[in-house]
Amino acid sequence: MKTVLTAARLFTPTDSIELPLVTIEDGHIAALASREHAELPSNARHTDFPGMVLVPGFIDIHIHGGAGHDVMEAESSTLAAIETAMARTGVTSYLPTTVTASEDRLLRALDHLGRAVAKNESHKNGAVPLGIHLEGPFISHAKRGVHPPENLVQPSPHLLDKFWQASGGGIRMMTIAPEIPGAVATINHAKQLGVACSLGHSDATYQEAVQGIAAGATHATHTFNAMRAFDHREPGILGAVLTEKGITADIIADGVHVAPAALQLFLMAKGPERAILITDAISATGMPDGRYRLGTLDVDVKGDRCEHQGKLAGSVLTLDRAVRNVMSFTAWELQQVIRMATLNPARLLGIASQRGTLAPGRIADIVVLTPQGQVVQTIIAGSGSV
């Protein structure tokens, strides 16, 4: 049976439709029009959201957990709990993100997550895992953050292949420091595998970062955090990330990891086409203050701060809050900010023909928002509303 949604506005997100009429059939958008030029189908189930805004489902490319669970837990109920919690915040698809651990632990996690990705579906009412984001172990000791130093290793095509095979080909994105030995060759190999390479946890000079981009890196991980500080004579990795037009970059807009002024600088540099919002959320997301896990680490959470031995260790940010924070910290409108959580990550992952936009033929992942960006309802593949 066809389903028809109506609301006050719709952001595709590159275009806006007043009084939209969205027809959904078999989990996809069958038609998109304005009620000024189209009538409601007589044989469809109709749901109206007066005063609300319809936008594409959010895509979180960097999330470690939530609802008290970590994605590296090899339990069937773990991802279901995390995915349900994400859907309540507008996230309809995501990349479960690993953290540096022993090789055995990492291989087990990749196997578990790869199997979930291979199903290419979620349980009812939950966000869909699109692939795995491998964050570590190919990162810099100097900018490792809380990643365990004893488990960091030099990258190589051979080791990447080992991880790739363990995941069943499920690795979709990889964070890597371009300056460490073996990084350039590994970035080039990852590109051949179809893995999006993201520069991060890096002490790279400007030239080393540019070499990583030339080798095939197309993105940057949590800009400003775990990166060499900018200097006007040696701008370092930040200089490359902010000025290279060929790469996108993401940021944690929680007001803790990055000050509002730095967020504004980032947006001025990358613009609405190349900026992406992430959460870097850990198991504590949606939970009360206390002690939680990030991979093998104990993390103390109080308010919006997550710390391991005094260092920031992920966040409790949700993507809907990130959208509202950007609107609050800057003069950007909802439509501009929505693009950073929908179309831009979809393009990075090469799935913009399926997700990230609202158009005929696309998967019907839709979020109903108030004009202020509060989530009213999340629709995943045309059903499973939360």
The answer to whether residue 37 scores a pLDDT higher than 90 is no
| Nearest by Cα to 187 from 208, 157, 210 | 157
pLDDT digits (tens, 9 = 90+) for 188-221: 999 999 999 999 999 999 999 999 999 999 999 9
Q: Determine the angle formed by the axes of helices 206-215 and 236-243, rounding to 10 degrees.
A: 50
* Whether the predicted pLDDT of 125 surpasses 90: no
Place of tokens 């990795």: 237
Strand partners, 311: 308
Which pLDDT belongs to residue 39?
Answer: 83
The pLDDT of residue 278? 98
Query: Among 7-11, 74-78, 364-368, whose mean pLDDT is lowest?
Result: 74-78
137 prior amide bond cis, ω within 30: yes
Query: Is residue 280 annotated as a catalytic residue, yes or no?
Result: yes
pLDDT at 87: 97
DSSP lists the bridge partners of residue 375 as 369
Q: What are phi and psi of 105, to 5 degrees?
A: -65, -40
Question: pLDDT category, 359, cuts 50, 70, 90?
Answer: very high
The pair of three-digit structure tokens given for residue 73, joined into one six-digit string:
């837990």
372 secondary structure, DSSP code? T
Higher-confidence position of 350 and 383: 350
Q: In the block, which residue shows the tokens 């939970």?
A: 287
What percentage of the chain has pLDDT greater than the value 70? Answer: 98
Higher local confidence (pLDDT), 122 or 3: 3
**Could you tell me if 130 and 194 are in contact, meaning their C-beta atoms sit under 8 angstroms apart?**
no
pTM: 0.97
Token pair listed for 256: 């803790």
* End-to-end CA, the chain: 20
Provide the pLDDT for residue 322. Answer: 98
Enter the tokens of residue 225: 């955090």
List phi, psi (to 5°) of 248.
-95, 170
Domain 58-353 in CATH 3.20.20.140: yes
Give kind and range of the element (H or E) at residue 49: strand 44-56
Please give the Cα distance from 306 to 299 (Å, whole number). Answer: 6
The catalytic position among 280, 289, 304, 365 is: 280
pLDDT digits (tens, 9 = 90+) for 152-185: 999 999 999 999 999 999 999 999 999 999 999 9
Q: With cut-offs at 50, 70 and 90, classify the pLDDT of residue 386.
A: low
Confidence of residue 332 (pLDDT cuts 50, 70, 90): very high
3-class secondary structure, 180: coil
pLDDT for 385 equals 61
CA–CA gap between residue 165 and residue 144 (Å, rounded): 25
Burial of 87 from C-beta contacts in 10 A (0-12 / 13-18 / 19+): buried
Give pLDDT, residue 384: 64
> What pLDDT, in 10s, does the model give residues 269-315?
999 999 999 999 999 999 999 999 999 899 999 999 999 999 999 99
* Average pLDDT value for residue range 10-20: 97
pLDDT in tens, 38-93: 888 888 899 999 999 999 999 999 999 999 999 999 777 899 999 999 999 999 99
Task: State the pLDDT confidence band at 121, using cuts at 50, 70 and 90.
Answer: low
Cβ-based neighbours of 41, under 8 Å, separated by 6 or more: 2, 4, 23
Q: Mean pLDDT throughout 98-122?
A: 91
Pairing of strands 171-176, 196-199: parallel
Domain boundaries, the chain: 2-54+371-379, 58-353
Name the residue among 30, 35, 2, 91 with its Cα closest to residue 345.
91
Given this model, what pLDDT does residue 1 score?
78
2-54+371-379: CATH architecture: Roll (2.30)
